[in-house]
């Protein structure tokens, strides 16, 4: 009998849990340790943030589902890793604290034969002074409760505009190295459409602020996409969309401080500027959770497991940007020091950025870090689960399921407005995610598989995926037929 412990129940963790339970007999124990009581379909948070969905339309409680499926659920927050056990046991375990109920604050040990770290990122709002959702006129759509508060504030803003008040809206990234520009792009587009729907667009100045060198970078060094048979850049695509919607652009900006209605930022040329706003949604920096790790003797071995995020089978050698290659990226998401520990999705430490790292003339790094959300999280989680299942069933440590972001394709459906007849979506497929200029010297990617489209069909697809992936997450009949 094997015991597999999964840390986290987000897209990556829950995907791994689902496939482990499906493909392992009940003699093997699957355990989930997560501080969250609900599963949330994060891509739909932006619709909550504009009042087009309610939080209960994209969440469901985890405990009843896990009980029904024979999965042990512990609502706790992991703090410390002991991959070699301690002086009481040779079995690896994690230390965690209960976050609810009578046991809140109590520390427990959870031992394992195999461990999947799917804790995702810490939403590091603290990295930017004054950036805290609900304060200084700022909001967030990173969680469903954040998104609900964003809508509450945005709705009040709409009321002010209907009463004749002119306002300034600022949306984008809230840190010099923030990622997830895609979510901010979706939100600004939906906000702009809602202003039109409420007939107050003329009362608002809408501005995009980002650490991207050029808009449309998205932390992937931009894309060359085929639209209508014509090769174009993601920069041209996004600039066209922003111009069409009357959205102003501030790029190459590293936000470092937020005050009440004022954002402070530094540009790549070293200038320090400010921008006023009445409502802002700024994506925070993502960071690791600050876990610590110890060996059997109690010595600190955190550096064996973590480099901010968890270390996996990547090449972390420090080298110039021009020498980075797709071969640096991991294929199994297995920790090299402890072969029974894995980290798919956002939990693994990327070997380097995808977009070119740039510093201001003052030495401040201002560029997006690599995205690993959505489709890559689900794909890598299934890959890890499949490898563990095979290791258990065959009794060996060979890993046959491989998937590097350097040869992995992904599809992104970005909402640019909600509505069955007036909704819009940008549909982009890219292959590979990490560009390979040696293999594909023209653009770094396969042109025939890196395509884009803009229109009502994109909205229908994103809405359909909302329901499909919630169905899949609830492990309803034949859920595994829905691809990652």
**Each residue of 251-274: pLDDT tens digit?**
999 999 999 999 999 999 999 999
Dihedral sign (CA 48, 52, 55, 58): negative
Q: Per residue in 245-267, is it b (16+ CB within 10 Å) or e — as a string?
A: bebebbbbbbbbbbeebbbbbbb
Question: What is the reported pLDDT for 407?
Answer: 92
Percent of the chain exceeding pLDDT 90 equals 89
Return mean pLDDT, the chain.
95
pLDDT at 228 over 80: no
**pTM assigned to the model:** 0.96
pLDDT digits (tens, 9 = 90+) for 272-324: 999 999 999 999 999 999 999 999 999 999 999 999 999 999 999 999 999 99
**Cα(172)–Cα(169) distance, integer angstroms:** 10
**Cα(378)–Cα(120) distance, integer angstroms:** 12
Q: Which CATH code fits 3-123+287-394?
A: 3.50.50.100
Longest dimension (CA), the chain: 70
pLDDT digits (tens, 9 = 90+) for 326-344: 999 999 999 999 999 999 9
**Mean per-residue pLDDT for 92-105?**
94
Q: Where are the alpha helices (DSSP H) in 31-107?
A: 45-48, 62-69
- Number of C-alpha atoms within 13 angstroms, CB side, residue 113? 13
**Cα(299)–Cα(301) distance, integer angstroms:** 6
Closest CA to 375 of 403, 346, 343, 412: 412
pLDDT digits (tens, 9 = 90+) for 163-188: 999 999 999 999 999 998 999 999 99
Question: What is the reported pLDDT for 159?
Answer: 98
The separation between CA 369 and the C-alpha centre of its own chain, rounded to angstroms, equals: 11
Burial class (CB in 10 A: 0-12, 13-18, 19+), 181: buried
**Collapsing DSSP states into helix, strand and coil, what is residue 220?**
coil
pLDDT at 49 over 90: yes
Q: Where are the alpha helices (DSSP H) in 168-256?
A: 181-197, 234-245
424, 454 contact by CB (below 8 A): yes
């Amino acid at each position: 009998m094997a015991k597999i412990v999964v840390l986290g129940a987000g897209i990556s963790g829950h995907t791994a849990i689902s496939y482990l339970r499906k493909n392992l007999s009940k003699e093997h124990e699957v355990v989930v340790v997560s501080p969250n009581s609900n599963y949330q379909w994060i891509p739909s948070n932006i619709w909550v943030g504009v009042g087009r969905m309610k939080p209960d339309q994209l969440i469901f409680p985890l405990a009843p589902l896990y009980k029904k499926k024979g999965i042990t659920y512990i609502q706790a927050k992991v703090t410390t890793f002991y991959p070699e056990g301690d002086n009481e046991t040779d079995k690896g375990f994690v230390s965690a604290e209960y976050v609810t109920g009578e046991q809140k604050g109590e520390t427990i040990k959870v031992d394992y034969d195999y461990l999947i770290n799917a804790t995702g990122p810490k939403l590091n709002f603290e990295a930017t002074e004054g950036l805290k959702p609900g304060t200084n006129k700022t909001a967030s759509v990173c969680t469903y409760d954040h998104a609900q508060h964003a809508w509450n504030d945005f709705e009040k803003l709409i009321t002010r505009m209907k009463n004749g008040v002119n306002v300034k809206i600022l949306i984008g990234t809230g840190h010099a190295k923030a990622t997830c520009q895609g979510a901010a792009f979706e939100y600004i587009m939906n906000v702009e459409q809602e202003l039109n729907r409420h007939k107050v667009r003329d009362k608002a100045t809408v501005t995009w602020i980002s650490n991207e060198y050029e808009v449309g970078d998205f932390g992937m060094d931009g894309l060359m996409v085929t639209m209508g048979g014509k090769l174009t850049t993601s920069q041209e695509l996004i600039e066209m969309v922003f111009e069409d919607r009357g959205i102003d652009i501030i790029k190459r900006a590293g936000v470092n401080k937020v005050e009440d209605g004022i954002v402070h930022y530094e540009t790549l040329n070293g200038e320090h500027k400010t921008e006023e706003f009445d409502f802002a949604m700024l994506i925070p920096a993502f960071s690791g959770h600050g876990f610590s790790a110890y060996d059997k003797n109690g010595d600190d071995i955190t550096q064996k497991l973590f480099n901010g995020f968890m270390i996996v089978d990547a090449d972390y050698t420090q080298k110039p940007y021009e020498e980075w290659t797709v071969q640096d990226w991991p294929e199994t998401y297995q920790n090299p020091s402890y072969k029974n520990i894995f980290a798919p999705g956002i939990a693994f430490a990327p070997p380097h950025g995808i977009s070119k790292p740039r510093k201001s003339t003052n030495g401040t790094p201002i560029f997006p870090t690599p995205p690993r959300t959505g489709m890559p999280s689900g794909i890598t989680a299934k890959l890890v689960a499949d490898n563990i299942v095979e290791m258990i069933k065959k009794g060996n440590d060979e890993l046959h399921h491989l998937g590097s972001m350097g040869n992995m394709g992904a599809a992104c459906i970005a909402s640019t407005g909600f509505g069955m007849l007036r909704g819009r979506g940008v549909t982009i497929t890219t292959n590979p995610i990490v560009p390979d200029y040696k293999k594909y010297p023209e653009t770094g990617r396969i042109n025939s598989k890196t395509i884009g489209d803009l229109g009502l069909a994109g909205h229908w697809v994103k809405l359909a995926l909302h329901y499909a992936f919630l169905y899949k997450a609830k492990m309803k009949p034949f859920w595994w037929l829905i691809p990652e």
